[in-house]
Structure 1
Amino acid sequence: MRPLLSLLLLAAAALVPAARAADEGRRVALIVGNGGYARRPLRNAINDARLMDKALQAVGFKTVVRENANKLQMEQAIVEFLNAIGPGDTALFFYAGHAVQIDNENLLIPTDLDRAQNLIEAKLKSFSMAMVFEYLNRSPAGQRIIILDACRSNPVVEDRGLPAGLAIPLNAGKDTYIVFSTSPNSTAGDNPDGNNSHFTEALSDLLRRPGISIDEVMTQVNRRVLAATEGRQTPWKQGNLSRSFYFIPPVGGVDSAADPSLLEERLTEAIRLRQKSSWEEALTATNLVLKGNPKDELLDTARLLHQYLTLRVKAEEAAEAGDYLTAASILSELFERDRLDSDAALRAGTYYLLARRIPEAIAPLAAARAYGTTRVHESAIAILQRLVPIEPAAKTALSTTTSPTPHEVAKLPLWYTRHQLPSVAMSSLERLVGAQRVTPTVEMAFADFLEIPKPRRPAAVEAAAAEEEEEEE
């Protein structure tokens, strides 16, 4: 029994199931607007802070607000903010005002910093964003969002010849999403013709729209800011959130007359979540698309993705309830529909093992070995090797060399072929070619099946094609 027990533990470890979206907890925000500088005052920074305060309160944030704060007041505010963060909370920090980068460190400028005699004095009298990142990373927050509308030209840069704008953060930490009002090492104007910066004006409006993830919000913000500044200012973001964040979660549906471009962006987000194995979040995003009454190919794509995700969620729910046989059966069906879905094959095999149905586990594990990406391929081999003393068919599965046929490669779901045609489909193909599981001949058959213009082939494909041509000669 000990070999079987260790095998079951190995199978369970190979699953690494995607975690359900946990309760995001409370929402707390620190908002700082500094505009009352002795040199180069900013007339919109206070307005920006107030506008963001109103917008964030409207979507459920408890806010701490400071206006024209000196360094001591900024330090006190960050302490109050950190003390308000509880386990799993979403913590958001928004700053509007002057900032500078020194030695690749971003420093916010308090209102009591008039002029520094040297860079050391400037760093000591400024408010370090590195410190904010460090303390937020130590906090019990579940998600951290940093928004800096602080890329305006400022006196410190002029006097010391330092790089303009802000530097890309190097110590942001886990589950953190960072937004700058313009690209790193670039500056943004204060919008002399309006009461708010172009960036904050767009952000405060778009974050109040239901069912839009923070990535989608920033995509829309970028469009507005680019249009308002005639291309001179491009907002920037960087994130490593483990789950999608919505200012207003997608629970109330969407406007039936939704903009097709917005529906397409939501479908793209659903596909991205699907590729990250965030099944429930991807299903929620797909439901939003369907509620928006999409048309034609977008509708077909969303329906097929919805069918796939519904089954995938059902399989994971069955596994969590201990019904491994049902989970394995569903995942085997999904793999038969899409022979590139090697993760479904691996999970089907491991669930069969957990259900003590060892003979039935061999076929999906062999398929995962044959079709899988590196992680899936290696996991399948490890499990099959442990099965050899128990099940003779495992040895055969390990010794058999199998490659996808052109028909199998082309047997992708419609949501691959009709949405993001070359990019998603060719991305899957490139992974297979990189793992030496598809020949250039298969790649060309794949493109012919899709009836799409053959895109510029990945480097791995080009190299394989050259080798194949040399062998033929």
Structure 2
Amino acid sequence: MNGGSSRTYLPDNLIATLSNVFPIPFFGIQMVERGKSYEGSPPSAPSGEGQRRLALVIGNSAYPSAPLKNPRNDAELIAAKLRTVYPAFDVMVACDVGREAMENAIDTFEAKLRDSDVALLFFAGHGLQVKGTNYLIPVDADIRQESHLRRRAVSLTEILDIMGSVRTSTLVFLDACRENPFARSLLAGLPDNERSRSFTRSGLAEVRAPSGTFIAFATAPDNIAQDGYGPNSPFTAALTKYMTTPGISIYDVMTDVSRDVRSVTGNRQQPWLQSNLQEHFRFCELPTAPKEAVPSPPPKPKGEVTRQQAPEAEEQRRTAEPDIKAAARARRRLEAVVWASLAQSPNATSLRDFLDEFADGPHAAEAKSMLTKLEYRAEEARRVEQSRQREAARWELLLLQPDALSLHRFIDEFADGEHVEEAKSMYTKLTGRVARKSGISNTEGWQNWTELAVEARDPEGRQRGEAEKWAKLASLKREAHEAEEHQRDETEKLAKLTEPERDAESGGFWKRVSIAVQIGSLLLFALFLLHALSRY
């Protein structure tokens, strides 16, 4: 730090790492302290002097079906500001271009990238996300189905791949999240079964910043940016206001931009940043004064050099100690800032990244506890959703072919489910109808079905086996019932006879027995006589 400055800097690699690890919006948070003025460049920030900077600026307003007021003005204003910063950008401007002209501009841009250290893309106009992929829309695009996107729009992913050849930094600014008629026409051309899914969403999708890349959206992912009431959009107006301020980093610029945009839009629009920069970047560098040549001191004897080694080392240690302490304090402040943002809207991914970066910090224990709760809730929600989906699928099958045993199992498995009351009602009706056919009371029928559910349950749940077992059980019940009824009828018939009738019926029986005995005796006597006569 310079003597008259109150500005504190974080190490470049820490800022780049945390900006990539935590792609959070700017909630008015200062990632570094702002100072009023300083001379020269901070020690940790390499000077931008001598950098070769290239910019492609595209502004599309003249859409035939959905014209926009500001994108052309935004592109012209951005181009003018990029030419005035230090070092200046070599700016290519393309306004109200169709697909062919837009591709030609990108091809020219790609050819010049080989000789550039910094590349910048600014796009204002209509943008569209489909299945998580962002597309920039030319003015002549007629998009009615998904296949049209590849032939009539330009993929942001392809542009990022082209810009990845730059040696130092890639900067992307997208003011293309406005209310989009192309999404509505695309949905209108889809069949009903496709339209019901989350095929397209508002705004642009979140993009994972490649190494060395800084991406700024005019608003948060899946949200819509405003075109503005003046000649420029709120995002572009704020960006051009602060980007020419000498000596402030790109993160400071975006912090000020976010504050102005939220103020103008009443907090309805909030710029979003994702960064994986490997070098510190400032739009407008402070030119450094040429260093005066200092005469080298005369050589010293070896013995004197040896005696001065210890004081020099101690001096170096005392000089470096304040910088080390300042960096530690800056890291603690940054941890507190990031934690304050996470505590307001925690999510599992950001908490894991926070713990990776600040594993020994004062908020690590609280972050672990919060992460455990979020993971438990997510797992519980997943189980509930899986149970709900399984119940819905089983219920649809039951409605197609209901049977009592399957209903019984459904009630047991989904006792607290959404359709359990309907299943109980259907089960009661079905068992009552079967009970009347077999002549068994409803109460006995319920018990029989309970026995059947135990006996007929097999690992694979084959319906045929279950039906055969039930038929066998019902047949046995019917046979037992018929035998019981026959015995009851005989008993009742005998009970209705009078005493003389019972006696008469009993005497006639014994009389028939006596006659049978007499006949048998006569037959035996006749056989004896025949045997005796045969001997004589």
Distance 1:330 1:121, change over 3 A: farther
- Separation (CA, whole Å) in 2 of partners of 1:162 and 1:105: 10
The answer to whether the aligner puts 1:29 opposite 2:55 as a matched pair is: yes
Q: Pairwise CA RMSD of aligned residues?
A: 3.8
- Matched with 2:457 is none
Equivalent of 2:211 in 174, 177, 186? 174
One-letter code of the match for 1:162? T
* SS of residue paired to 2:129: strand
Distance 1:175 1:413, change over 3 A: closer
The answer to whether the aligner puts 1:249 opposite 2:155 as a matched pair is: no
One-letter code of the match for 1:131? E
2:126–2:180 contact (8 Å) kept in structure 1 = yes
Identity among equivalent pairs (%): 33
Equivalent of 1:458 in 354, 359, 364? 364
- Matched with 2:239 is 203
- Matched with 1:185 is 222
1:92–1:145 contact (8 Å) kept in structure 2 = yes
Displacement of 1:420: 4.0
TM (norm. structure 1) is 0.52
**Structure 2 spans left out of the alignment, 5+ residues:** 1-43, 188-198, 290-307, 341-354, 370-536
2:219–2:270 contact (8 Å) kept in structure 1 = yes
Equivalent of 1:83 in 83, 106, 111? 111
Deviations 1:294-315 (A, max 9, x none): xxxxxxxxxxxxxxxxxxxxxx
Displacement of 1:148: 0.7
Distance 1:460 1:90, change over 3 A: same
- Matched with 1:129 is 156
One-letter code of the match for 2:217? F
Equivalent of 1:213 in 236, 249, 257? 249
Displacement of 1:180: 0.7
Structure of greater Rg: 2
The answer to whether the aligner puts 1:146 opposite 2:183 as a matched pair is: no
The number of equivalent residue pairs is 280
* SS of residue paired to 2:134: strand
One-letter code of the match for 1:167? A
For 1:386-397, list aligned pairs within 5 A.
none
Displacement of 1:423: 3.2
One-letter code of the match for 2:151? L
- Matched with 1:164 is 202
- Matched with 2:480 is none
Relative contact order: is structure 1 or structure 2 higher (C-alpha 8 Å, sep ≥ 6)? 2
Distance 1:133 1:325, change over 3 A: farther
- Separation (CA, whole Å) in 2 of partners of 1:231 and 1:126: 31
For 1:258-273, list aligned pairs within 5 A.
none
For 1:298-337, list aligned pairs within 5 A.
329=314, 332-333=317-318
* SS of residue paired to 2:93: strand
Equivalent of 2:267 in 224, 227, 231? 231
Distance 1:335 1:80, change over 3 A: closer
2:177–2:225 contact (8 Å) kept in structure 1 = yes
2:243–2:283 contact (8 Å) kept in structure 1 = yes
1:44–1:195 contact (8 Å) kept in structure 2 = yes
- Matched with 2:515 is none
* SS of residue paired to 2:121: strand
Distance 1:331 1:25, change over 3 A: same
Displacement of 1:328: 6.0
For 1:305-454, list aligned pairs within 5 A.
329=314, 332-333=317-318, 416=329, 420=333, 423=336, 434=359
* SS of residue paired to 2:123: strand
Deviations 1:137-184 (A, max 9, x none): 13x4421100110000111222326111111113x4221111111111
One-letter code of the match for 2:163? L
- Separation (CA, whole Å) in 2 of partners of 1:151 and 1:432: 32
- Matched with 2:84 is 58
One-letter code of the match for 1:37? Y
- Separation (CA, whole Å) in 1 of partners of 2:365 and 2:257: 34
Displacement of 1:250: 3.3
- Matched with 2:393 is none
Displacement of 1:102: 1.2
1:179–1:236 contact (8 Å) kept in structure 2 = yes
- Separation (CA, whole Å) in 1 of partners of 2:137 and 2:367: 51
2:48–2:281 contact (8 Å) kept in structure 1 = no
Displacement of 1:123: 3.3
* SS of residue paired to 2:274: strand
- Separation (CA, whole Å) in 2 of partners of 1:223 and 1:31: 24
1:212–1:248 contact (8 Å) kept in structure 2 = yes
* SS of residue paired to 1:144: strand
2:119–2:170 contact (8 Å) kept in structure 1 = yes
Deviations 1:391-438 (A, max 9, x none): xxxxxxxxxxxxxxxxxxxxx6698399949939x99xx999956xxx
- Separation (CA, whole Å) in 2 of partners of 1:422 and 1:64: 40
Displacement of 1:117: 2.7
Displacement of 1:218: 0.4
One-letter code of the match for 1:68? D
Equivalent of 2:139 in 107, 111, 119? 111
- Separation (CA, whole Å) in 2 of partners of 1:28 and 1:457: 42
Distance 1:194 1:337, change over 3 A: closer
1:88–1:143 contact (8 Å) kept in structure 2 = no
